[in-house]
Structure 1
């Protein structure tokens, strides 16, 4: 028998066996995510009322013990009533809402019984749309004088810009005049009547949220946008402003700092003397939409990220919409049924055809665990500090506790990757040993607790929230932190920073700039003021001050200070940018360029968009181009000259899909101009 065919057969068999038993190719391990936690870069202190949600009078389970106990377990500290747009048709005295449904067992006293069982505070929305100042004052009298409920926070109306003044109407408003000026006049009247009953209450006015309709739109006959008019007329009579935010997507937390920066700019510009006292409340918030899911894990992860970002940036309450809502568009999201329900807890409702029903009443949906994780991560009195990740799929937040502990929350939004993380700490040294770790994963029905990993090394499961609670290494007693700093004499290149002294004996103070999650020391002094120099024009700076003892032990950081430098007071050119017409996703901008120096024959103007979500649509009066974030305008060939004192006017259409922070630094032929 010939040998060659036998060898081929044996070789084939050997190859088959080798293939069968060969080790499978190993998936490449993901690169460890670098997370930075900087305890020197302090942000806002966690408020008592930070974790909130909404109750609605059409929810018959509003006041049940089971509902209250669920909310207490989630750490909810503020409950809002009587529920969204129902606020503008609800009459508290007879517990009616003409045109709407009022469920049994939802009256004010039942709501307050649930509030007390939850261990929360209440926020009440007075009826602006179909009510009166006298009715609202009567509610304050009943609540705080007759019943002794001690309700501190009172809103005037709900989303009153939605009354049809800007072309879309969903909010009830019986006033013939639907303008922001009319609303502002009534805010003044409501505030005066309500505070005459109880001067200790806080009054809130409705604003539009930056970059959300109808923000920046000027209605016919108005003197400005809704926010400008309301703040200008009623700013002296209010204590906080009300924003609502439904981003409809899971990746919008990065827009929060600019959103709040613009809101504070408007408050400072229009609300008059003492505007710094005015707080910001996010009284309605939800991350999802009927198309991308509401009750499953992606919504929970986005909720935790947004709550942490909003509170770290100084909002005093974030209130989820809402406790019970009802079934909506049913889909499959990340391996689980999403019921399209904007509630925290199941309403046990079914689709209209009865084919799909929610789980049992008060079963928590995934966002419930986001609020629960937030309440365990950042407790009232803790101070948020900067944290950052070098992986877009991993978000990082941190908070320092008064006892010296540090909590770090890590959110992995990847559907299929477990990320190892390597955590670096600045201004904090964790104790040795495994930390306490809280985890919530995709589809889980509870937050698990374990002692695992190290302070510097953890692994994050896909679609998970993970919180580490760290003890500090023993250190000498630290001095008390300095008070909140303030800025004065701010120019294009310098600012004087001053602060209240530490109550402890200290050797020196250090001034640190937050540069992402990294601190850059700008100077130090034994006094309580310091002038920082070599700053960049038109740049937003956030600073902290810390104290050091004679032995070198640092204090906690002061509360943060944010300010923006200007442009040169004197320059050979000046530029004025005006937003002439805004429609909520774009605007027409006009730029006046004035030559203050020698005649120019040929000019080029440049500026940069502050954010990636801004872009050039079109331009005129010159040749416009955009490269990356830089916009360049060159004179038209037929009109190159700009004489001394002469002004050229050019225009453009700017597009945006997030908070529209306008460009502020312009250069003409390489020279930084004075912004007017």
Structure 2
């Protein structure tokens, strides 16, 4: 059945508080935004009474829109993306504003200052390192990443190799890993403000989750725990802040948190409680990851789209654990997100684009400080791999062609204003709406 809509705009003056209860410093460079009006044509007004209405009230401000919500991930195996003119143009138009590097799990095996095959002599044979100073054409080296940021008018968020503190074979692996991170801060020379200590280190898929205690020289246990990570993170924070002070640059450092109260893995279940008890208020922001749908499930469209509001539960779980430990809530950063749905090409579909639009709106509403979708470019995998842009292995598709999610994220960012305002939907449970206002007067609304 066809339904008519009415979108009502309550155009009255509004004001908002300058306080930053959740986004905090992620709003320090917030700027007013003016819309670029698209071309339009007049259309005949539908006849008959509306059965569905969407009402927005620009006097009722929800929050300012943080530009770092629209972020994305670069990974090292996507090559020298900055050399592809059309790709750079598309990324620039999408305006992620912040791009994460060097990747997800490979961050735990990444040695930023080593050339290709210059293997560290103090890591186990089981570790397959990635190298940040490589000249291989298929790898995005550290300096390639900086060029990508420059060409797309983005800033970076860098994930340092925490796991080296676990599997390193030297007498002081924690100090050595922290020094490696601090050296990157020095090399960065003030270009990057946002830094992460590790990647999903509570997971058994991560290097350093378990180590060979017979090879370890500083008495670490076989399996990681939240308190051990917290203890090590304090060393990283001290070393990295000292390095930043040497170059007169202020950095913001995030720590890994687990986004749920319970898990099948006991390490994850009490990760936050143990970590917060040790680290206290030393970190600047909290990191969460989530791939909204169930792992390895052939989820249908209805199931996928119903997951968009999970971010509220992530926030509730992490903040509860922080407050219970006497730790001040810090901004939340969802530095990886996408869907796990497989076997029906969901990940490269229009449905995943719709899901992205819903997630962006919900993250703004939940006042996250930043978010980076996984990822800018990835393989085909019969439609079961992530990537805003394709790689050369997708049949009949030129490399770095935009996938549907590109258009959803581009137009969301372009036509969503600088302040989110309240909305109300009546007449249908099948519609979700997020509304905004621009500083030069117009209003922008996303309806899914």
Q: Deviations over 1:151-209 (max 9, x none)?
A: 100100001001x3xxxx34444564411111111110000000011141011000111
**Which secondary structure state, in structure 1, belongs to the residue aligned with residue 305 of structure 2?**
coil
Shift of 1:310: 0.7
CA pair 233-41 structure 1, distance change in 2 beyond 3 A: farther
Q: Distance in 2 between matches of 1:287 and 1:229?
A: 29
* C-alpha distance in structure 2 between counterparts of 1:311 and 1:28, whole Å: 30
TM value normalised by structure 1? 0.49
Cα distance in 2 for residues equivalent to 1:58 and 1:239: 30
Identify if the C-alpha distance between structure 1 residues 110 and 192 changes in structure 2 by more than 3 Å, giving closer, same or farther: same
Going from structure 1 to structure 2, the CA distance change for 1:366 and 1:43 (only over 3 Å counts) comes to same
Write the deviation string for residues 446-504 of structure 1: whole angstroms up to 9, x where unpaired.
xxxxxxxxxxxxxxxxxxxxxxxxxxxxxxxxxxxxxxxxxxxxxxxxxxxxxxxxxxx
Q: Aligned-pair RMSD on alpha carbons?
A: 2.4
Q: Does 1:406 align with 2:447?
A: no
Spell out, residue by residue over 1:394-451, the C-alpha distance to the aligned partner (whole angstroms, 9 max, x if none). Answer: 210011223333211111xxxxxxxxxxxxxxxxxxxxxxxxxxxxxxxxxxxxxxxx
Structure 1, residues 57-88: CA drift from partner, whole Å, max 9, x if none?
Answer: 11214333433322111111011000000100
Q: Distance in 1 between matches of 2:262 and 2:442?
A: 38
Which position in structure 2 is the counterpart of 1:370?
408
Cα distance in 2, alignment partners of residues 271 and 325 from structure 1: 41
1:231 counterpart residue number: 276
Aligned residues: 351
In structure 2, the partner of 1:34 is 53
1:262 paired residue among 317, 322, 336 = 317
1:237 is paired with a residue of what secondary structure? coil
> Would you identify which runs of 4 or more consecutive aligned residues in structure 1 move more than 6 Å?
none
Comparing 256-265 with 394-403, greater Cα deviation is found at 256-265
Paired residue for 2:62, among 39, 43, 59?
Answer: 43
Contact 1:398/1:407 (<8 A) preserved: yes
* TM-score with structure 2 setting the length: 0.73
1:376 shift after superposition: 0.9
The reply on whether 1:134 has 2:171 as its aligned counterpart is no
Query: 2:229 matched to 1:196?
Result: no
**Residue number in structure 2 paired with 1:247:** 292
Structure 2: gaps of 5 or more residues? 5-49, 120-126, 166-176, 212-219, 294-303
More strand by share: 1
Q: How does 1:597-608 map to 2 (within 5 A)?
A: none
Higher percent of residues as helix: 2
How much has 1:41 moved relative to structure 2? 3.2
Provide the rounded CA distance (Å) in 2 between the counterparts of 1:101 and 1:376: 36
Conserved in 2, the CA contact under 8 Å of 1:346 and 1:364?
yes
Q: In structure 1, what is the equivalent of residue 357 of structure 2?
A: 304
More contact order relative to length (CA 8 Å, sep ≥ 6): 2
Is the contact made by 2:416 and 2:445 (CA closer than 8 Å) also made in structure 1?
Answer: no
Q: CA deviation at 1:213?
A: 4.2
Measured in 2, the distance between the counterparts of 1:172 and 1:388 equals 47
Match of 2:338 among 271, 274, 286: 286
State the partner residue of 1:86: 106
> Are residues 1:324 and 2:377 paired?
yes
1:271 shift after superposition: 4.9
* Cα deviation 1:307-362 (Å, max 9, x = unaligned): 11112211122211111110123xxxxxxxxx223100010214xxxxxx151111
Q: Secondary structure at the match of 1:231?
A: helix
Q: Which runs of 5+ in 1 are unaligned?
A: 1-26, 330-338, 351-356, 412-676
Superposed CA offset, 1:225-246 (max 9, x none): 1011112211321000111010
Cα 1:94–1:28 change in 2 (3 A) is closer
* Match 1:125 to one of 128, 146, 159: 159
1:183 aligns to what?
229
Q: Distance in 1 between matches of 2:396 and 2:102?
A: 24
* Corresponding residue SS for 2:67: coil
Contact 1:159–1:171 at 8 Å: present in 2 too?
Answer: no
Kept in 2, the 8 Å contact 1:246–1:286? The answer is yes
Deviations 1:33-72 (A, max 9, x none): 2212133432221113221111111121433343332211
**If you compute each CA radius of gyration, which structure gives the higher value, 1 or 2?**
1
